[in-house]
């Protein structure tokens, strides 16, 4: 390793406590999507802009997408630039500000979701790993360079975006529409990874979410024959659908983790308020991650066809409403510059051989691939995203920041 790299790495290590504090500050500001009853990312964005201003970035820009559903009416996106020797090539590190809701409160046994705490070298709190860990690592990679007065080889651009958890329409998709990214750019999306940092993701499955609304007829539970139990029909349909989709779409691709398509019944909306009422309406959801070899529209046709069969059989109405559909993008070529650079960085700094493959998706990387900007997804995490007691390991923040700094200067 060169002298300069060693200096950078020890500067990153010196910033460890500052990174920990900064990450904890971010956890204290929830940024939950309006779809989940939250007020969006505005407060967190204010904090981040403040933070970035003190670190000496060359340029900080905000691109706010309008969204009437949140109090500020805006979904903020921040781009922060630290200029390099080459201005025509930008290393982008894209992370997201929004977090998913904490879920069942009682399952948070280490600390409350938005009251971060440090225990055994880990920072606990909602959003700690997904995606504040990588956001802080990217910000402090630049800070380390700045502190040492090192101009990176290429411009480093940090993208801190909104709306990743709900499909990115107000986040990276909005930024891409502004024409800010070029095919020559090098994009890293640190939002998926293995515990040892050995996995680099260059492909994603199609993502399809839909709502199943079953309408029957509400009645007293002692007289079921007077109504039509929408909950029963909803469950029967969901189970039959689960089986059908797995049977109809069994293909495996060992480059993906997991290798098969996934079809999961997930969210369930509340129906009636009392045990002795037969529900007249039932709402549940499926999350499907479909291998690129299948057409997601064909899958949706199968979903609708089975719903029609169940309507005939039961007399209930079953409506299928699409919540999200992201068709798998063309995978990033495994021989492009950013993939090779990152491989080299992992090898050199960790002494391991990274594996390159696909995942269930969908990250911000998919939208870059759609406009032919190669993007690689990588980070070092314990895969605690969306779980109770989510945490980020402090050593992972430090070590990933080293890799970002390395990519900027290599």
Contacting positions for Zn ion (CB under 5 A):
130-131, 191
> Using alpha carbons only, what angle is made at residue 352 by residues 349 and 353, rounded to the nearest 5 degrees?
120
> Which of the residues 164, 191, 201, 204 is marked catalytic?
164
Residue with Cβ nearer Zn ion (19 or 192): 192
**Residue 189: strand, helix, or coil:** strand
Residue with Cβ nearer Zn ion (131 or 329): 131
Which uninterrupted H or E stretch holds 186? strand 186-189
Tell me, rounded to whole angstroms, the distance of Cα 351 from its chain centroid.
28
Query: Angle, nearest 10°, between helix axes 337-350 and 394-409?
Result: 130
Beta bridge partner(s), residue 60: 80
Query: Angle, nearest 10°, between helix axes 16-27 and 42-55?
Result: 160
Residue with Cβ nearer Zn ion (328 or 359): 359
Residue with Cβ nearer Zn ion (64 or 191): 191
DSSP letters along 84-101, please? -SEEEEEEEEEEE--B--
* 164 given a catalytic annotation: yes
- Asked if 282 contacts 201 with a C-beta cutoff of 8 angstroms, the reply is no
Q: In the complex, what is the shortest distance from the CB of residue 131 to Zn ion, in angstroms, rounded to a whole number?
A: 4
- Asked if 35 contacts 285 with a C-beta cutoff of 8 angstroms, the reply is no
- Asked if 161 contacts 168 with a C-beta cutoff of 8 angstroms, the reply is yes
Q: In the complex, what is the shortest distance from the CB of residue 84 to Zn ion, in angstroms, rounded to a whole number?
A: 27
Q: In the complex, what is the shortest distance from the CB of residue 336 to Zn ion, in angstroms, rounded to a whole number?
A: 23
Beta bridge partner(s), residue 377: 189, 201
Residue with Cβ nearer Zn ion (15 or 384): 384
- Asked if 251 contacts 260 with a C-beta cutoff of 8 angstroms, the reply is yes
The rounded distance, in Å, linking the Cα atoms of 382 and 68 is 36
Paired tokens of 353 = 């051989």
Residue with Cβ nearer Zn ion (11 or 165): 165
* 13 given a catalytic annotation: no
Q: In the complex, what is the shortest distance from the CB of residue 368 to Zn ion, in angstroms, rounded to a whole number?
A: 15
Q: In the complex, what is the shortest distance from the CB of residue 52 to Zn ion, in angstroms, rounded to a whole number?
A: 20
Q: In the complex, what is the shortest distance from the CB of residue 255 to Zn ion, in angstroms, rounded to a whole number?
A: 21
The rounded distance, in Å, linking the Cα atoms of 181 and 174 is 12
Residue with Cβ nearer Zn ion (191 or 390): 191
Q: In the complex, what is the shortest distance from the CB of residue 127 to Zn ion, in angstroms, rounded to a whole number?
A: 9
Residue with Cβ nearer Zn ion (131 or 202): 131
The candidate with the shortest Cα–Cα distance to 396, out of 164, 110, 135, 30, is: 135
The candidate with the shortest Cα–Cα distance to 332, out of 297, 308, 363, 289, is: 363
Q: In the complex, what is the shortest distance from the CB of residue 169 to Zn ion, in angstroms, rounded to a whole number?
A: 16
The rounded distance, in Å, linking the Cα atoms of 41 and 29 is 9
> Using alpha carbons only, what angle is made at residue 104 by residues 99 and 107, rounded to the nearest 5 degrees?
105
> Which of the residues 11, 67, 98, 130 is marked catalytic?
98
Segments of 39-181 assigned E as strands: 59-62, 65-66, 74-75, 78-82, 86-96, 117-119, 122-124, 154-161
Tell me, rounded to whole angstroms, the distance of Cα 391 from its chain centroid.
15
The rounded distance, in Å, linking the Cα atoms of 175 and 173 is 5
Q: Which of the residues are catalytic?
A: 98, 164
């Amino acid at each position: 390793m060169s002298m300069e790299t060693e200096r950078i790495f020890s500067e990153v290590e010196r910033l460890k406590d500052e990174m920990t504090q900064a990450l904890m500050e971010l956890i204290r500001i929830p940024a939950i999507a309006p779809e989940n009853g939250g007020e969006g990312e505005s407060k967190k964005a204010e904090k981040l802009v403040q933070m970035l201003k003190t670190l000496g970035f060359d340029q900080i820009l905000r691109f706010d997408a309008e969204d009437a559903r949140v109090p500020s009416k805006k979904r903020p996106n921040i781009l922060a630039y630290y200029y390099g020797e080459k201005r025509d090539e930008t290393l982008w590190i894209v992370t997201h500000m929004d977090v998913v809701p904490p879920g069942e409160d009682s399952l948070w046994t280490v600390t409350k979701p938005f009251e971060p705490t440090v225990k055994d070298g880990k920072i606990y709190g909602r959003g700690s790993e997904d995606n504040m860990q990588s956001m802080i690592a990217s910000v402090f990679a630049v800070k380390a360079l700045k502190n040492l007065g090192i101009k990176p080889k290429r411009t480093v651009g940090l993208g801190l975006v909104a709306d990743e958890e709900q499909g990115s329409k107000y986040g990276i998709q909005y930024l891409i529409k502004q024409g800010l990214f070029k095919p020559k750019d090098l994009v890293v999306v640190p939002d998926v990874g293995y515990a040892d940092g050995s996995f680099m993701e260059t492909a994603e499955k199609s993502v399809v979410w839909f709502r199943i609304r079953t309408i029957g007829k509400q009645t007293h539970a002692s007289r079921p024959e007077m109504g039509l139990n929408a909950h029963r029909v909803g469950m029967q349909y969901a189970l039959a659908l689960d089986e059908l989709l797995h049977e109809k779409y069994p293909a495996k691709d060992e480059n993906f983790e997991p290798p098969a398509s996934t079809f999961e019944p997930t969210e369930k909306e509340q129906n009636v308020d009392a045990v002795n009422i037969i529900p007249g309406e039932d709402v549940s959801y499926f999350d499907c991650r479909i291998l690129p070899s299948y057409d997601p529209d064909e899958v949706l046709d199968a979903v609708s066809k089975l719903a029609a069969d169940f309507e005939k059989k039961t007399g209930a109405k079953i409506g299928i409403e699409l919540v999200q559909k992201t068709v798998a993008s063309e995978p990033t070529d495994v021989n492009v510059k950013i993939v090779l650079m990152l491989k080299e960085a992992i090898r050199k700094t960790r002494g391991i051989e990274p594996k390159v493959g696909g995942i269930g998706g969908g990250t911000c990387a998919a939208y870059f691939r759609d406009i032919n900007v190669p993007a690689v997804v990588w980070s070092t995490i314990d895969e605690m995203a969306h779980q109770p007691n989510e945490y980020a390991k402090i050593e992972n923040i430090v070590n990933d920041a080293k890799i970002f700094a390395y990519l900027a200067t290599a």
